Chains A and B, each alone.
Chain A
Amino acid sequence: MRRSSPLALRVVALVYLTFLLVLPVGLVFWRTFQHGAGPVVDALTRPAVLHAFRVTAVVAAWTVALNTVFGVGVALLIVRGRFPGRRALDAAVDLPLAVSPVVVGLALILVYGRFEPIGGWLETHGLQIIFAVPGMVLATVFVSLPLVVREVAPVLAEIGTEQEQAAWTLGAGPVQTFRRITLPAIRWALAYGMVLTLARALGEFGAVAVVSGRLVGRTQTATLVVDQSFQNFDQPTAYAVSVALASVAIVVLVVVNILRSREQSRA
């Protein structure tokens, strides 16, 4: 290796990031605030847009909650479990990364659609899944399934079981051991996984587009508003909502990184 290679690498990485990330995101921000903040506020406070943000928030909150519980559970099973099919489960967790979200949406309709056995049965019992919030939560949970698991599992593997065994011998039951020993040990990985899940849930488009039915004022999410506004040549609204979504994601990531580095400097 020549001594100049680190510099060359740095330049390549910088150019790559500039054209892929900094330029597009920067331009969206610039175009949005081209005519000041007034039009942005107008666009974001329209009832349909406000409702879309509310739907996005509800779906994202459910998704984070469900994936936190199941993510930790699945991670525990994969790392600690000794049962046939453990490897298959491990591999299956990554499936959502490989399958296109549109396919996920279609698959969910095949199971939970009004004219399918399971979906029909649920509907007669008053629970509509497809073209309603439950279906959108299901779709988002599916596409963000690996995010918590893949953050938490390596940490669980690294900390091992000795601390937990020590807690047992000191009299702590399974719940106490989890709350006092395991959870504190994985909390940063879990927080990071939750934030990634939140960011993914806020930005999910394909699967939600299929299962939501895109009903304005009912099942339309923020990302669907962006798409619809753009298609209808309402670019100010499209840009304003995009910027709002991107800002939330950036703020959350920055907060977690600050917390993380503080934790590392303390330990």
Chain B
Amino acid sequence: MSIRVSHVTKRFGAFVALDDVSVDIPVGSLTALLGPSGGGKSTLLRVIAGLERPDEGTVEIAGTDATGLPPQRRNVGFVFQHYAAFKHLSVRRNVAFGLEIRKRPKDVVRRRVDELLQLVHLEQFADRLPSQLSGGQRQRMALARALAVEPDVLLLDEPFGALDAQVRRELRDWLRRLHDEVDVTTVFVTHDQEEAMDVADEIVVINNGVVEQIGSPDELYDRPASEFVMSFLGPVTSLGGVLVRPHDLELLASPDARTVPATVARLTRLGFEVRADLEAGGQPLWVQLTRAEADRLGLHPGAGVHVRTVAPDAAPVAAPAG
């Protein structure tokens, strides 16, 4: 294990940010800490980096107990949401910072910085100040700066949170490729489930200071351990008191042994897909289907249809009572 967090609890006054959290992160993995704002995921990342001290529990990094170590001696790279660029230093000096602190020879620093600037495609901006870069470029600079000291683990706190959608998507793909190239254990915090599913090998879902579930994106999506995980990772609706994904429901013109009768309340066309809001036994639910299916069934508001689940292998999750 590259990072082993055991029974960590962290309180801020009366607020419990982390409640007996244990997570193991394997060497070389790309892990997402996913959860809603205020759920404790950033606090966990900061505890790993040594920027927060846990009230209880231990943190192990690369086999050594780091619980009592200051951030300076943990050999972690940390990337902040708002870049934390050193505003008075050029891009080159920003990237060189950790190496200069470690008093590496000048030519070694120069070579390493050149290498990293090339890796993050900023070689032509080496002599600019951070204020002369775009947000995406600043974040790439921050990444190069964190990687310069060859950290045991790379920690990113909502690294794309301050960027617009287009740049966000680009940087996401780029982080994935960079991880495959550099091969450093990487943990990033996000509240965007799509981002976590797209980039990470493994996702740790954190809510209210506790770990809800750990697993691969597919495991979490197909076999969520709780109603919270299921609804956080994708759209949900409920049929007969059971939570299901709207695309795992099928509409039929005539009933069979597994169907439930329903009435169409509203149809919404969203490009190639159709969202059908239904009513079954007094309960609202919605179904996601393709345009062709909707046309074949001749759906219109007020029409009667029959609904059934088409994902027999998915473990059922009980819908909340009431």
Chain A, Cβ-Cβ closest to B142: A166
Residue of B nearest to A267 (CB): B131
Q: Which chain A positions have C-beta within 8 A of B82?
A: 162
> Which residues from chain A contact B70 at a C-beta distance below 8 Å?
168
CB of B294 closer than 8 Å to a CB of A: no
The answer on a CB contact under 8 Å between A169 and B87 is no
The answer to whether A169 and B49 touch across the interface, beta carbons within 8 angstroms, is yes
In this assembly, does B101 line the interface, its C-beta being within 8 Å of a C-beta of chain A? yes
CB contacts under 8 Å to B, within A139-179, are 159, 162-163, 165-173, 176
B239 to chain A, nearest CB (A): 47
* Docked complex: B74-129 residues within 8 A CB-CB of A: 74, 76-78, 80, 82, 84-88, 97-98, 101-102, 129
Counting CB contacts under 8 A, is A79 at the interface? no
Residues of the B chain whose Cβ atoms lie less than 8 Å from the Cβ of A169: 49-51, 71-72, 74, 76-78, 146
Q: In the complex, how many angstroms separate the beta carbon of A182 from the nearest chain B beta carbon?
A: 11
Knowing A170-B98, A172-B72, say if A165 contacts B86 (CB, 8 Å).
no
Instruction: Tell whether B10 is near chain A: CB-to-CB under 8 Å.
Output: no
The CA of A93 and the CA of B3, in the complex, are separated in Å by 46
Return the contact of A176 from the options B80, B101, B142, B145 (Cβ within 8 A). Answer: B101
Name the B residues within 8 Å of A159 (CB-CB). 87
Shortest Cβ gap from B249 to chain A (Å): 46
A170-B97 in contact (CB<8A): yes
Cα–Cα distance between A173 and B73 once the two chains are bound (Å): 10
B145 cross-chain contacts in A, Cβ below 8 A: 166, 170
Name the distance in Å between B24's Cβ and chain A's nearest Cβ: 22
Let me know if B87 and A267 touch, CB within 8 A: yes
Please, which residues of chain B bring their CB within 8 A of the CB of A185? 87-88
Identify whether the interface residues of A are mostly helix, strand, loop, or mixed: helix
* Chain B proximity of A176: nearest CB distance (Å): 6
**Between A and B, how many residue pairs show CB distances below 8 Å?**
62
B230 touches A (CB below 8 Å)? no
B72–A168 CB distance below 8 A:
yes
Q: Name A181's contact: one of B77, B86, B146 (CB within 8 Å).
A: B86
Interface centre among A166, A167, A168, A267 (most CB of B within 10 A): A166
Docked CA distance A165–B83 (Å)? 11
Residues of A within 8 A of B80 (CB): 162, 165-166
Partner among A166, A171, A172, A176 whose Cβ is within 8 Å of the Cβ of B84: A166
Asked whether any CB of chain A lies closer than 8 Å to the CB of B149, the reply is yes
CB neighbours (8 Å) of B142 from chain A are 166
Please report which residues of chain B, range 202-218, place their CB below 8 angstroms from some CB of chain A when the two chains form the complex.
Answer: none
What is the CA–CA distance of A138 and B70 in the complex, to the nearest angstrom? 39
Contact present for B101 and A170 (CB under 8 Å): yes
Judged by a CB distance under 8 angstroms, whether A184 is at the interface is: yes
Interface size on B, residues (CB 8 A): 29
- Whole-angstrom distance from the CB of A180 to the nearest CB of chain B? 8
CB distance from A114 to the nearest CB of B (A): 50
A163 to B97, CA, bound (A): 12
Q: Which of A163, A171, A184, A267 makes the CB contact (< 8 A) with B98? A: A171
Known: A170-B149, A181-B86, A267-B87. A165 touches B101 (CB 8 A): no
The bracket for how many chain A residues form the interface is 10 to 19
Q: How far is the CA of A181 from the CA of B70 in the complex (A)?
A: 18
CB distance from B132 to the nearest CB of A (A): 9
| Binary contact readout B129-160 vs A (1 if CB under 8 angstroms, 0 otherwise) | 10100000000001001101100000000000
Listed residue (B50, B51, B84, B149) with the most chain A CB atoms within 10 angstroms of its CB: B84
Contact A163 B84 (CB under 8 A): yes
* Pairwise interchain contact B86-A166, C-beta atoms closer than 8 A: yes
On whether the beta carbons of A168 and B51 are closer than 8 Å, the reply is yes
Given contacts A168-B70, A168-B71, A171-B102, contact A163 B78 (CB under 8 A): no
Our pick among B78, B87, B129, B146 for the contact of A165 (Cβ within 8 Å) is B78
**Smallest CB–CB gap between A89 and chain B, Å?**
22
Q: Please give, as numbers and ranges, the residues of chain A lying within 8 Å of B85 by CB-CB distance.
A: 163
Assuming the A-B contacts A166-B78, A267-B131, are A171 and B86 also in contact, with contact meaning beta carbons closer than 8 angstroms in the complex? no
How far is B145's CA from A165's CA once the two chains are assembled, in angstroms?
13
| Inter-chain contact B88/A184, CB cutoff 8 Å | yes
Question: Nearest Cβ in chain B — how far from A267, in angstroms?
Answer: 6
Which single member of A165, A167, A184 contacts B97 (CB below 8 Å)? A167
Name the contact of B72 in the complex, choosing from A162, A171, A181 (C-beta under 8 A). A171
- State the Cβ distance, B246 to closest chain A Cβ, in Å: 41
Q: Is the CB of A165 within 8 A of B51?
A: yes
- Give B160-207 interface residues, CB cut-off 8 Å to A: none
With a cutoff of 8 Å between Cβ atoms, the chain A residues found around residue B149 in the complex are 170-171
- The 3 tightest CB contacts between A and B, nearest first, are A170-B98, A162-B84, A166-B84
Beyond contacts A172-B97, A173-B72: 14 other A-B pairs, Cβ-Cβ < 8 A, are A163-B84, A163-B86, A163-B87, A165-B84, A166-B142, A168-B50, A168-B70, A169-B74, A170-B101, A171-B73, A171-B149, A172-B72, A185-B88, A267-B87
Question: A-contacting residues of B (Cβ < 8 Å)?
Answer: 49-51, 70-74, 76-78, 80, 82, 84-88, 97-98, 101-102, 129, 131, 142, 145-146, 148-149
Can you list 18 A-B pairs with a CB-CB distance of less than 8 A? A162-B82, A162-B84, A163-B86, A165-B78, A165-B80, A166-B78, A168-B71, A169-B49, A169-B72, A169-B77, A169-B78, A170-B98, A170-B148, A171-B72, A171-B73, A171-B98, A172-B72, A185-B88
